[in-house]
Amino acid sequence: MGYQELFLESNQEALERYELVMERIKKIPAERTVKEKYQDYFTKMAEFIVLADTVMGQKERGELESRSKEACEETNRRLFEDLFPENYEGSYGNPKAAVSLLGEKFAPALCFLYAELRAMIGYAFEGRKMNMVLLCELFVEIYNCFESEEEPEEKEISNIIYWFFHDYSEIFAEDKVRDMVEPSYDFFTRIILDSDLTDGRYLYLYGEYIGENELGLFQYLNTLTEEEVQSMADTMTEGFRIGYAHIGKDLNAKDTVCLEYPIGFERVMRKAIANFEKLGLKSTVYRNPVSSFARGLRGQRGCYGISVNRQYDFDHKADKRFYLDKAYVERQLESMKAAYEKYKKQAKGHAGPAVTEIFGEVPFEPEIKPEAGKYTPEQNELNVYQMSRMGQMTNTYIPGEERSFTIIAYPIPAIGEKFEEIFKETVKINTLDYVSYQDMQQKIIDVLDKAEEVHITGTGKNKTDLWIKIHPIENPEKETAFENCVADVNIPVGEVFTSPVLEGTKGKLHVTKVYLAGLLYQNLEVDFEDGKITSYTCTNFGTEEENHRFLYENLLQQHDTLPMGEFAIGTNTMAYRMARDYGIEDKLPILIAEKTGPHFAVGDTCYSHAEDTAVFNPDGKEIIARDNSVSILRKEDMSKAYFNCHTDITIPYDELGSITAVSENQTVDIIREGKFVLPGTEELNKPFL
């Protein structure tokens, strides 16, 4: 059974409703039954829905695959052009423009509806008629409210939105779980496996925006040989396999692996699917979430295209505020549990994600718009509660001690005219010989294991002055505090890391410029006491209030404080040199950037939800620093132990003064003046020359 058969019953069930509601929507542009102020909005939304319906019809008739290149491009443009930066100032999806065009009373809700309706694009390309019906009926119900002579009450519109998400929570929850763990949902894998990957028209089958980056990736990857593409796939899938082997988990007990990848990477994904098949794993793929129901703070996920407009994404980060309350959260959690119960066999057999990330976009500094709205303090608490409960639930059905992952990253054409050179250099970095790094990193670990704390300082304008408390080693012959990270779950090779002892970890972390999860942070300063954030600031915006809110919402992810979950020393000076040579330091993904200097993660530890699973280094020593005084609270109250976030902040070598291991008897410099000085690690300095 494939995805079309999967939705056959629900599509038949929705058929009559679909025809009725679509007939109604098609009449709206010619009607004049709402006040003039709102007429243009409802007309444009109706025309958008009719365009999605046209795509749905082509899907049902099997015409999408046979469209001309020009027809593909034209439909893609029409579906997404309203969000193009040059059009966004006048778009109803722009909260500021919506207030100007619609007035303050209804602009927030109608702007929210605009964003929700955009989920129809994916539904139409997949042929999900029931999902289309639900959104169409929501639109018509709200439209009907505006047809009376008097404007509706704000509460009436709010209630419609609220009950929509409450009533259909089970459908949305099942979509979310099934699409991740059920291989018969094969919409994306069929594109990868069945398409002629030399014919760029297949890109337009996804229902995602296809721009210069997607086309550029497709074109470049088609210049590579089969051997080169196979090597790229092997690097990722072998990293996934080694990740399981290193931590002693049984990959043979698993059935599926979830691929996350950028559109344009299908040649590599086809090879990866074949590789995973040889490991006994079927590949699943889900769509990058569009609806506020499934959107999170992690950025692009699943199968994704590069964002059409990152300011639009930022403007709609708090859309869930329209229906987020305690009753809704409990309803959603019930729905997610029911979905996991339905697919518990598939969830139990799910091995985890194999993720391909991209980098190269110009760093994004968002405009904070008052019109965009924000969560209330109570809603922020609910968000944290919901994320915590969802993390626990996921860990119950897809046990953390039984799953793993791998992540690898490549540049996109937006990185500049030297894209192809940078891509080739990235491939080299992703395939560095991990054995030599393993040896040098072990020398660093041998010193760190004898330390009581580590002192890190900045240089020049960098004001970092941090003291990191290290877990004591009781049996040096069999135990270590640091993991020797080779190229397995986190590709490329190049770091040693630990979960610090929180008590005694203190000081200031400062980076003059850092790029995290698609956002640029200027002069980021974070102060710690007993391993927890006590204050934070940056210089992105003109007022301290704006800077504080920006960090609270994005770095702290709406938590009042976060612990330091990781301290690491990156050793991939080759990646650092590549970034400097091509001037792309601000464009590196955290996956690579974290290997180019010491980094400090705020949030959960690296062993989140798997602290009780023994982990060993290549030398056979067990890594005992898997817990801290926060994560250990899971034994009493799971909700207090996890934050469901882990954000790495890296100090680049040129802002680094020293890293010194300090014990009662001695101090040993590992890095001094930004260079490795520990005997046996001098090779790491060659890229600096």
Q: Which residue has the tokens 């940056």?
A: 538
Burial of 435 (0-12, 13-18, 19+ CB in 10 A): exposed
Q: Which of 279, 274, 233, 562 is nearest to 404 (CA)?
A: 279
- Indicate if the pLDDT at residue 177 is higher than 70: yes
How high does pLDDT run on average in the chain? 93
Predicted confidence band at 527 (pLDDT cuts at 50, 70, 90)?
A: very high
| Mean pLDDT calculated for residue range 7-33 | 95
pLDDT at 516: 83
pLDDT at 247: 67
- Indicate if the pLDDT at residue 281 is higher than 70: yes
d(CA 652, CA 662): 22
CA diameter of the chain: 84
- Indicate if the pLDDT at residue 211 is higher than 90: yes
| Mean pLDDT calculated for residue range 102-129 | 97
Burial of 66 (0-12, 13-18, 19+ CB in 10 A): exposed
Q: Tell me the three state secondary structure of residue 500.
A: coil
Min mean pLDDT across 285-289, 295-299, 305-309, 519-523 is at 295-299
Min mean pLDDT across 118-132, 188-202, 271-285, 366-380 is at 366-380
Min mean pLDDT across 344-358, 412-426, 434-448 is at 434-448
User: Could you tell me what percentage of the chain is helix, strand and coil, using 3-state DSSP and rounding each to the nearest 5?
Assistant: 50, 20, 35
Predicted confidence band at 21 (pLDDT cuts at 50, 70, 90)?
A: very high
pLDDT at 132: 97
Predicted confidence band at 533 (pLDDT cuts at 50, 70, 90)?
A: very high
Inside any domain, residue 419: no
d(CA 579, CA 335): 45
Of 373, 407, 441, the residue that ends a domain is: 407
Residue 191 structure tokens:
């594109």
Residues 119 and 184 reside in one and the same domain: no
- Indicate if the pLDDT at residue 38 is higher than 90: yes
Residues 39 and 158 reside in one and the same domain: yes
pTM assigned to the model? 0.88
| Mean pLDDT calculated for residue range 194-222 | 97
Inside any domain, residue 423: no
| Mean pLDDT calculated for residue range 1-5 | 82
Alpha carbon 474 to its chain's center: 38
Residues 235 and 374 reside in one and the same domain: yes
How crowded is the C-beta side of 470, counted as CA atoms within 13 Å? Answer: 27
- Indicate if the pLDDT at residue 472 is higher than 60: yes
Predicted confidence band at 437 (pLDDT cuts at 50, 70, 90)?
A: confident
Strands 256-262 and 303-304: parallel
Residues 376 and 263 reside in one and the same domain: yes
Residues 155 and 183 reside in one and the same domain: no
Question: How many folded domains does the chain comprise?
Answer: 3
Inside any domain, residue 414: no
Residues 135 and 183 reside in one and the same domain: no
Backbone angles phi, psi at 256, to 5 degrees: -135, 160
Predicted confidence band at 488 (pLDDT cuts at 50, 70, 90)?
A: low
Residues spanned by the domain of 676: 432-688
Give the amino acid at 179: D
Q: Which of 551, 116, 124 is nearest to 295 (CA)?
A: 116
Predicted confidence band at 436 (pLDDT cuts at 50, 70, 90)?
A: confident
pLDDT at 309: 95
pLDDT at 377: 87
